[in-house]
């Protein structure tokens, strides 16, 4: 969260180191560049507030902090500028005024694209006067001009009014928020006129008191015996009127009602704390019922079965697997099985073209012609089909 609450108190060396050439193509340093962007945005907002302006209708825009296709995958600089609210393609085709930072220094820039030349052409004299007052260089297209030459120039292209500040000068304090406020007080009204936006001047309520200073005494006729106001306390100040906590269940107020008025200019300028942060309240915890322990459903006992006595029927029962043959079944006469016949011996020579008979296997009893003899196997043609069988399974006819 500290990354999103950066404040600008002056230029630092880390602001420029985030844009070193070794970090241009790396996404690893995006948090560093984001921190610089937040600091620049805080500086411009503080400068506009110090100039007494309200940027209504304008929007604070910034370029990308990570390498992408739109910036050629290199982050060489960062631009934070004021422009029209909701504008797109600001860096290439829109009017803006802001700050550009890179590893070399800081640039105050007012950019007027050539596509909108009809809008700023009638204001060339005013722009030339602005460049002379703010010490800004003038570049129209690819040509560098003096502020006096801009008044009568008829060249076309993008118009840039820039004031350069080196890295050492910015860190040394030559470009403070006060100078940014003076520059914003001149540039923002001109930018609003170019964009057709009306700026509102903000006059703080305590501006007269701040201008009067602490040395100015009380007004004539005031009661001199009035007690001095108490010193501001370290606790956050609250509005003078007391408040009753709302009737809300579980609500516990975190402050004590204060009836005395605030003291001092700093306390008067501080907004009420309950406008910045709503009062906290602690609701009662949600009580959920405890889950019931899991209990398996009861199992129903199976009914008892009466054993059935069966008389063995040896005539109908098949022989068991451990019995050698059905000839040994009880009650049956002894019978001999079929006598195995030996394969007939070969009567000829096993060679290509000989007629053979298959003795075993899937094609037992089939006859065919020897096509090829290769060692212990023979390729036999059975009509249109050829099979490979061992030589021991054949009988030559």
- pTM attached to this predicted model: 0.51
How does pLDDT run across 16-58, given as a tens digit for each residue? 999 999 999 999 999 999 999 999 999 999 988 888 888 888 9
**236 CA to centre of own chain:** 36
For 9, 222, 246, 269, the CA distances from 46, given in Å and listed in that order, are 10, 36, 37, 16
User: Cα separation of 332 and 339, whole Å?
Assistant: 20
- State the average pLDDT for the chain: 75
User: In this predicted structure, what is the pLDDT of residue 215?
Assistant: 46
More confident residue, 86 or 23: 23
Query: pLDDT tens-digit profile of 63-82?
Result: 988 999 888 899 999 999 99
Model confidence at 258: pLDDT above 90:
no
pLDDT at residue 210 above 70? no
In the chain, the domains with their CATH numbers are 2-201 (3.30.930), 355-396 (2.30.30)
Checking if the pLDDT of 2 tops 50, the result is no
Query: At residue 4, does pLDDT exceed 80?
Result: no
Q: What is the pLDDT of residue 23?
A: 93
Supply the pLDDT for residue 91.
79
The pLDDT of residue 279 is above 80:
no
Does 150 score more than 90 pLDDT? no
Ranking 60-69, 117-126, 141-150, 204-213 by mean pLDDT, the lowest is 204-213
In this predicted model, what pLDDT tens digit does every residue of 22-33 receive, in sequence order? 999 999 999 999
Judged by average pLDDT, the poorest of 110-124, 249-263, 277-291 is 249-263
Query: In angstroms, rounded to a whole number, what is the distance separating the alpha carbons of residues 180 and 175?
Result: 7
Quote the tokens at residue 133.
Answer: 């007052």
Q: With contact defined as beta carbons under 8 Å apart, do 175 and 106 qualify?
A: yes
Q: Where are the beta strands (DSSP E) in 141-233?
A: 143-145, 159-166, 200-201
Q: What pLDDT was estimated at residue 182?
A: 85
Average pLDDT over residues 328-354: 64
Q: What is the pLDDT of residue 306?
A: 77
Per-residue pLDDT, 1: 33
Q: Return d(Cα 110, Cα 127) in angstroms, integer.
A: 10
Residue range 215-227, pLDDT digits in tens: 444 444 444 444 4
DSSP lists the bridge partners of residue 58 as: 84
Separation of alpha carbons 377 and 393, rounded Å: 9
Res 291: pLDDT: 82
- Residues 116-132, mean pLDDT to the nearest whole number: 85
């Amino acid at each position: 969260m500290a990354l999103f609450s950066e404040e600008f108190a002056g230029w630092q060396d880390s602001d420029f180191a985030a844009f070193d050439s070794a970090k241009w193509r790396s996404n690893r340093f995006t948090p560093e560049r984001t921190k610089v962007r937040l600091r620049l945005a805080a500086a411009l907002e503080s400068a506009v507030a110090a100039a007494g302006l309200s940027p209504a209708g304008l929007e604070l825009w910034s370029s990308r902090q990570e390498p992408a296709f739109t910036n050629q995958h290199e982050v060489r600089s960062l631009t934070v500028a004021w422009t029209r609210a909701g504008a797109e393609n600001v860096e290439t085709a829109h009017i803006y005024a802001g700050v550009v930072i890179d590893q070399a220094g800081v640039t105050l820039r007012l950019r007027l694209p050539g596509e909108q030349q009809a809008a700023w052409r009638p204001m060339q004299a005013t722009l030339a006067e602005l460049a002379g007052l703010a010490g800004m260089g003038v570049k129209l297209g690819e040509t560098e001009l003096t502020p006096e030459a801009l008044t009568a120039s008829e060249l076309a292209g993008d118009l840039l009014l820039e004031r350069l500040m080196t890295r050492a000068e910015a860190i040394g304090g030559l470009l403070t928020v006060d100078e940014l406020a003076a520059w914003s007080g001149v540039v923002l009204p001109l930018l609003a006129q170019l964009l057709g936006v009306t700026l509102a001047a903000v006059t703080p309520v305590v501006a007269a008191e701040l201008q009067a200073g602490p040395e100015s005494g009380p007004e004539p006729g005031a009661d001199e015996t009035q007690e001095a106001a108490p010193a501001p306390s370290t606790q956050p100040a609250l509005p003078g009127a007391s408040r009753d906590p709302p009737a809300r269940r579980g609500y516990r107020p975190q402050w004590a009602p204060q009836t005395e008025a605030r003291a001092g200019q700093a306390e008067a300028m501080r907004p009420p704390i309950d406008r910045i942060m709503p009062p906290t309240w602690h609701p009662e915890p949600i009580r959920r019922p405890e889950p019931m322990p899991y209990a398996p459903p009861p199992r129903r006992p199976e009914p008892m079965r009466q054993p059935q006595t069966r008389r063995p029927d040896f005539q109908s029962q098949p022989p068991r697997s451990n019995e050698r043959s059905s000839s040994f079944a009880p009650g049956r006469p002894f019978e001999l099985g079929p006598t195995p016949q030996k394969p007939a011996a070969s009567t000829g020579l096993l060679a290509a073209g000989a007629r053979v008979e298959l003795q075993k296997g899937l094609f037992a009893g089939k006859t065919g012609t020897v096509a090829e003899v290769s060692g212990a196997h023979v390729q036999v043609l059975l009509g249109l089909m050829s099979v490979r069988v061992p030589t021991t399974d054949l009988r030559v006819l």
